Amino acid sequence: MKYLIAEDEKELQQSIATYLSREANVCETASDYREASEKLELYDYDIVVLDINLITGSGLELLRKLKEQNKKCGVIIISANSSLDDKLEGLDLGADDYITKPFHLAELNSRIKAVLRRGQFGGNDSITFEEIRLDTLARSAYVNDKPITLTRKEYDLLLFFITNQGRVLSKAIIAEHLWGDDSDLLDNFDFIYVHINNLRKKLTKAGAKYIQTAYGSGYKFIAD
């Protein structure tokens, strides 16, 4: 399950992401219109939590765009307490639910659950790729139903590969997804080599070698 949190208040954004990351397999954030728009074009999400009052560009505008593209994801709008109109307009535009600031995270979560339940969006606890299976609740990995022990970073890396199979992932993107936003500034991704190497060793040993190097661009996870 993949969530996107489009919220410009950094603190709230982080609270939400932290809270929801246990429900989602992938929980990403966007801090402004541009970033959200970009991510929505590049990736598929099951749920988008959208603050309708994004400073840069309107959240409603984003929602309109989203629905034009006919993406199959549930949308939950966050709105400031006053703006009833925005809410209604949002629902008109195809949002699935809304929640008013301030709110409890548990409340947001149960609304997401409700949207997922009544919609056709997402909904599976294990992810497979060829003979690899990830149990996302137990955070455990299997190759041909034999468990392999992964560290946290290795698991996250493998999950990221599988949920983005076939796509070339640059070291910068991998770093951003596994280490968060602060790594924008880094220009040294040496440590990724190490994690890739470790994960490769474990997968190869178990008989599943799918991490391919795209020389000069990054890596991709793909069956030969």
Partner DNA sequence: TCAATTCTTAAGTAATTATTAAGCAGATTA
Partner DNA sequence: TAATCTGCTTAATAATTACTTAAGAATTGA
# of chain residues touching its own copies (CB under 8 A): 35
Note whether 216 binds its own copies by CB under 8 A: yes
Cα torsion 141, 183, 42, 160 to 10°: value is 0
**CB 143 within 8 Å of CB 95:** no
- 135 to 154: interface string for its own copies, x by CB under 8 A: x-xxx-----------xx--
Distance CA 135, CA 124 (A): 10
**In terms of CB distance, is 38 or 191 closer to DNA?**
191
Note whether 214 binds its own copies by CB under 8 A: yes
Distance CA 94, CA 73 (A): 10
Look at residue 191 and give the partner it binds from its own copies, DNA, none, a contact being a CB closer than 5 to 8 Å depending on partner kind: DNA
Stretch that binds its own copies, among 40-48, 88-96, 170-178, 192-200 (CB under 8 A): 170-178
Of residues 60, 100, 104, the one with CA closest to residue 80: 100
Distance CA 127, CA 132 (A): 8
**In terms of CB distance, is 73 or 148 closer to DNA?**
148
User: What pairs with residue 132 in β-bridges?
Assistant: 129, 143
- Min CB(198)–DNA separation in Å: 7
Note whether 14 binds its own copies by CB under 8 A: yes
Site for its own copies in 116-135 (CB under 8 A): 117-118, 120, 123, 135
**CB 212 within 8 Å of CB 219:** yes
Residues that bind DNA (CB under 7 A): 149, 151-154, 171, 179, 188, 190-191, 193-197, 200-201, 213-218
Q: Candidates 143, 173, 178, 206: give the one binding its own copies (CB under 8 A).
A: 173
Stretch that binds its own copies, among 8-16, 30-38, 70-78, 198-206 (CB under 8 A): 8-16
- Min CB(33)–its own copies separation in Å: 21
Residues that bind its own copies (CB under 8 A): 10-11, 14-15, 18-19, 22, 104-106, 113, 117-118, 120, 123, 135, 137-139, 151-152, 166-168, 170, 172-173, 181, 184, 214-217, 220, 222
